[in-house]
Structure 1
């Protein structure tokens, strides 16, 4: 391999934004944020939206964060149903 063209590989902390779950892994990703872990060392902090702690495949739970549409809200508000 050519020297000087590959990014630096370092230990970083990935934190799940939805659950707060943290884990240390090797990565070439960098960050201005840092966090001090239980081992007393300070690592760069990378925030992720989803990890094995919050993904439905690993947790076995499906989470629906999508809000109902305007028509559905109207029908719920005024007690209208699709049945005739």
Structure 2
């Protein structure tokens, strides 16, 4: 096997920003943020918008979270009129 062909995997904590769900896994992702995990060690924190906790494929149902009025912001930005107007 060739030397230096495989990436360096290390433990990181992945946090779903939609639900706050966190899990510890091995990854090559870089992060400047860290978090203290349940085992007392400090690991890099990687934030994601969708994980197995919120993705409909894994949950079997759609979970909605307040996204700060994204649709309204889009409509306002592009001067879109709603059916109410």
Residue 71 of structure 2 corresponds to 67
Cross-structure match for 2:6: 6
Aligned to 2:37: 37
Match of 2:71, SS? coil
Q: Deviations over 1:43-64 (max 9, x none)?
A: 1111111001111122233248
Q: TM-score, normalised by structure 1?
A: 0.72
Q: Which structure has the larger Rg? A: 1
Number of residue pairs aligned between Structure 1 and Structure 2: 75
1:76 is matched with 84
